[in-house]
Structures are given as structure tokens and as C-alpha cells.
Structure 1
Amino acid sequence: MRRGALALFLGLAACAPQPLAQPPSQPLLIEGGVVEGRIVRAAGLELALPAPPLAVARSGETLLAAYPFQLLIYQGGFIRENLPLPGVPTFVRAKPNPLVGLEDRLFAPGLGTLPYRAKDALRTPEGVYWLDEEGVYLERRQLYQGRYTFLSASERYAFAFGQEALRLPDGLRIPLPARVKAAVVLDELYVLNPEGLYRLSLEGLRLGFLPGDFEGLESDGGFLYTLQAGRLIILQRNLEQALHSQRALGRAP
């Protein structure tokens, strides 16, 4: 009996995500809130993950928590899938469709691995857009040359961001404030740089600006979410602060 119980325990332990050597010390921003350690707290969602994730992303009811060699997919706060990953995740995307970046390939739930060595990627209805040091690609085809650092998308457009924004699929180039480090695409464009948060039209016309030292940018379509000195800031789309801003987990008032 003791041997059987020990074997069962070891089997369950092998399925659990292994803790990171150095878990993230800062809250991880997701759509609607934050993940701090293994605790997820966001609009309409509160749960405890089995271990601090290496990368995490949320889209509506779906939450993806990525660990070395393992991806957990939650739906409505309950685990739906536990999938093996062929490597250690470098990034994870929940929207438009789930996608995980690995060191030398991509992993798409339901599709398997894709042979693209990408520094960022998006899985859209048109296919997988991805970036390397040479340019922007759709699947195996290079669309544009240039140095771009990250991607963001709405239901209508995807954008590649570098010194300028490249709108896909039509190729419109939009000038940007210097050193953009995060962006959200809705029916307008929101870009974050060290000076603050800019609201732009999809053609690049400046519509508003909120100064501040913010970190990260996410949206659920209704509100914008960012961090400032560890505090979760919730903004309306006109960049006015919403009444229900709250502090990130574990931060003193």
C-alpha cells in the first residue's frame, strides 16, 4: 500500500508545473488585472495557479499560463487543457487566438508546432504574423523588411511596432512617439512610451495624451489597464481614470 501511494504521489507531482528558479518579482499585467506570484486577480476572475507562470495572457474567459514544457489553459476560472510544450516559453498570446513563443519555434494549441523562430507573433484569422530581425512575415512569406520589436492586433488590423507602426495587411506606415514599448489596437491606437500614454487614430492622428511613468498596456475592449509604481491603473478609452482603479496585489497603500 505504501509503495502504491508513493507511486501515485510521484505521478501527480510529475504533472504539476515546476516552480521557476526566479519567479517574477513584479506583477504581471493581463487583460483586466494582474498576476502576482501564482495569484490571478482581474475583472471577473480570481484564481490560484499551481505555480508562478513564466508567461501569462488573458482574453475574456480564457487564461493561458505558460511554464517550461507545459501550457495550462483556463476557461471561466477552471482548467480546460493541460498541454505539453516542446520547450521553454518566451512569450504567450491569448488573442486573437492562443499562441506560445519558444526559443526556436511557435506552438499553437490545436495546430502543434510551427517552424518560425519569432521574437513576437500573433495568430489571426489571416494566419500567423511574426517578426524576426529581418522583417514581418505572414506564415512563410516575408511581407516587409525592417526592424520591428512587437505586434498587436484588433479584429480588423494587426500592427508591427518599431520606430514607426506598420499596419497590416495594407502596409500603411504611421509615425510614432519615440521609444514605444507597448500598444493596444482597438478602433483607435494606444501606444505607451516612457513619457506616457498616447491615443492615436488608426492613421496616426494624435487624439490625446496622458503623461506618466506606466508599465505595460492591456485592454478588454472597454477599458485600458496599466501599472504605475506597482499600482493597477484602469483607464477609460478617452484616457480618463476609471473610478475602480485598484492597487496591484501585495502593494502597500
Structure 2
Amino acid sequence: MRAGLAACGLWLVACAPQPVTPPTSTPILIEGGVVEGRVVRAGALQLALPSPTPWVARSGSTLLAAYPFQLLIYQDGLIQESQPLPGVPAFVRAKPLPLVGLEDRLFVPGLGTLPYKAKDALYTKEGVYWIDQQGLYLGRRLLAEGRFSFLAASERYVYAFGREALRLPDNLRVPLPAGVQAAVVQDDLYVLTSEGIYRLSPEGLQLGFRAGVYKGLETDGTYLYTLEAGRLRTLQLNLDTANRSEPQALTASLGVRPLLGQEVP
């Protein structure tokens, strides 16, 4: 009975009208797929969010959708939690562990708010890494001074990206191609620039390159995902095109089940 009431409560919260969020006229890249409007499609995962939001992130079976003052957490396409946020999101991270960046603080499910005004942040088993205009921190401890733009991590390393990358925990300075816009870390390091996608060794040696105009970079550990002219492109880790069927458009169809009784526009 209590389980049923809890599920009903989540249903009512998710059905409630969402605050106004910025328009999402272009596809948003997530691990394994894309979000367009309310529709999420990533491999076998297909669902419709209560309303569009640009703050969506995925890690395996976990999907986070952040709205002003509200965070929805899905598992295997089903809503599991709705948590209040103390503000409007600026970014959301699903991995290594869930985290939401707000204008003047961070929100970590299970930990609550942290008073760090961060440009980017990652929640790892070692703690929360974050950057601001002055440098890179782990919790309250300053690890390195400098101007960093964003963070990326694997189970082994955390990279802070600027004109070069700082690799932790060994504090190695890694050379980068000019103008890195995004990166993911596997056994190798993959970085996106305006020229294309580079495959680098963990020490920065170039192992491969794929020319093209791409937007965003994600990985599930087996494939790389990016957008080319608004369409999802799946690549092997050697940067060759993966032989996989991909959605050509994210319009509503009978294959997308509307969430919580709402119609997909």
C-alpha cells in the first residue's frame, strides 16, 4: 500500500506543470542518443519528459532531467525520484555520479547542497572536483591554480581542460590540440575541436583523428557519440563509423510511449 502511495506521489510530482525553461530547438546529445523537445531516445531507451529542458544527462540506466527547482531521476526509463533543487540549473552531470550545478552552489543527490560556485564539477568516489576562475578544487582544497574550462574523468583519471590538460592524481600536464570544446576519457583521451575529433594517449600523443564539424562528445565505454548537422553519429573507439542503426529524426511516433499520460507534441 505504501509503495503504491509513493509511486502515486512521484506520478503527481512529475505531472505537475514545470517552470519555464529555455527553449530546446536543437537536439541535445546524451550518452547513447539525443533529446529533442520532450522526447528522449537512446538505444532501447525511449520516453517523454514532462516538459522540454536543456539540462539532461545519462549514465547507463540512469537519466537525470533538471528543471528550475526540481530534479527528476529515471532508472531504465521509469521515474524513481523527484528532488527539490535550491535554484535554477546551470549544468547537470550523470557521471561518474549524479550532480547538478546551480548559479552559486552545487547540488548532490544524497549529500545536499555544497557552497561551491563552479563553472563545472564532477562527483567521484574521491569527492567533488570543481573549477572556478581561480583553479581546480577537490572539496574545499585547492589542487591547482589556473584557468580551466571543463572537467572529464574515467575510473582512473580526472582531467581539467584549459590550453593544456591537468591530469589527476599524478598532476601530469597533457598537451592538447588548439580549441578543445569537449572531451571524454576511456583508456585513451578523446577531444573535440572545430576541426574534428582527436584520439590521444593519456599523455597527449596523437593516435588518430577524424575530420568533421561535430557538436558534443559522449561515450558509454563501447562507442563514442556526437552530433553532425543535428544528427546522431556513433563512432567506434578507433574513430571509424560504427555499423549501427541510428534515429534519423526525433519526432513523435508510436514507438515513443508518452510519459505519465501526456501527449507528445
Instruction: Return the offset for 1:44.
Output: 2.6
Checking the alignment, whether the CA contact within 8 Å between 1:34 and 1:232 is kept in structure 2 is: yes
Q: Distance in 1 between matches of 2:195 and 2:64?
A: 31
Q: Distance in 1 between matches of 2:13 and 2:64?
A: 21
Q: How does 1:101-116 map to 2 (within 5 A)?
A: 101-116=101-116
Instruction: Return the offset for 1:243.
Output: 1.5
Q: Does residue 85 of the first structure (1) align with residue 85 of the second (2)?
A: yes
- Greater relative CO (CA pairs within 8 A, separation 6+): 2
Q: Does residue 36 of the first structure (1) align with residue 36 of the second (2)?
A: yes
**Root mean square deviation, CA, Å:** 1.4
Deviations 1:198-246 (Å, cap 9, x if unpaired)? 0000011110000000000000000000001011000000000012253
Checking the alignment, whether the CA contact within 8 Å between 1:235 and 1:241 is kept in structure 2 is: yes
Checking the alignment, whether the CA contact within 8 Å between 2:31 and 2:225 is kept in structure 1 is: yes
TM norm structure 1: 0.91
Counterpart of 2:238 in structure 1 is: 238
Checking the alignment, whether the CA contact within 8 Å between 1:59 and 1:95 is kept in structure 2 is: yes
Counterpart of 1:3 in structure 2 is: none
Counterpart of 2:205 in structure 1 is: 205
Checking the alignment, whether the CA contact within 8 Å between 2:147 and 2:162 is kept in structure 1 is: yes
Checking the alignment, whether the CA contact within 8 Å between 1:222 and 1:236 is kept in structure 2 is: yes
Counterpart of 2:261 in structure 1 is: none
Question: How has the CA–CA distance of structure 1 residues 21 and 122 changed in structure 2, closer, same or farther, with 3 Å as cutoff?
Answer: closer
**DSSP-derived class of the 2:74 partner:** strand
Checking the alignment, whether the CA contact within 8 Å between 2:21 and 2:67 is kept in structure 1 is: no
Question: How has the CA–CA distance of structure 1 residues 231 and 245 changed in structure 2, closer, same or farther, with 3 Å as cutoff?
Answer: farther
Q: Distance in 1 between matches of 2:100 and 2:164?
A: 25
Q: Distance in 2 between matches of 1:79 and 1:124?
A: 23
Runs of at least 5 residues in structure 1 that lack an aligned partner in the other structure: 1-11
Instruction: Return the offset for 1:16.
Output: 2.2
Checking the alignment, whether the CA contact within 8 Å between 1:106 and 1:117 is kept in structure 2 is: yes
Counterpart of 2:183 in structure 1 is: 183
Q: Distance in 2 between matches of 1:163 and 1:224?
A: 23
Instruction: Return the offset for 1:14.
Output: 9.2
Counterpart of 1:228 in structure 2 is: 228
Instruction: Return the offset for 1:54.
Output: 3.2
Question: How has the CA–CA distance of structure 1 residues 183 and 17 changed in structure 2, closer, same or farther, with 3 Å as cutoff?
Answer: farther
**DSSP-derived class of the 1:238 partner:** coil
Q: Distance in 1 between matches of 2:112 and 2:237?
A: 36
**DSSP-derived class of the 1:148 partner:** coil
Q: Distance in 1 between matches of 2:82 and 2:103?
A: 20
Q: Which amino acid aligns with 1:125?
A: K
**DSSP-derived class of the 1:173 partner:** strand
Counterpart of 1:73 in structure 2 is: 73
Q: Which amino acid aligns with 2:23?
A: P
Moved more, 232-241 or 161-170: 161-170
Q: Distance in 1 between matches of 2:224 and 2:14?
A: 38
Q: Distance in 2 between matches of 1:109 and 1:171?
A: 29
Identity %: 70
Question: How has the CA–CA distance of structure 1 residues 17 and 136 changed in structure 2, closer, same or farther, with 3 Å as cutoff?
Answer: farther
Instruction: Return the offset for 1:26.
Output: 0.8
Counterpart of 2:174 in structure 1 is: 174
Q: Distance in 1 between matches of 2:57 and 2:21?
A: 21
Instruction: Return the offset for 1:43.
Output: 1.5
**Higher strand content, 1 or 2:** 1
Counterpart of 1:56 in structure 2 is: 56
Instruction: Return the offset for 1:19.
Output: 5.1
Q: Does residue 219 of the first structure (1) align with residue 216 of the second (2)?
A: no
Total equivalences in the alignment: 239
Q: Distance in 2 between matches of 1:231 and 1:125?
A: 34
Checking the alignment, whether the CA contact within 8 Å between 1:19 and 1:51 is kept in structure 2 is: no
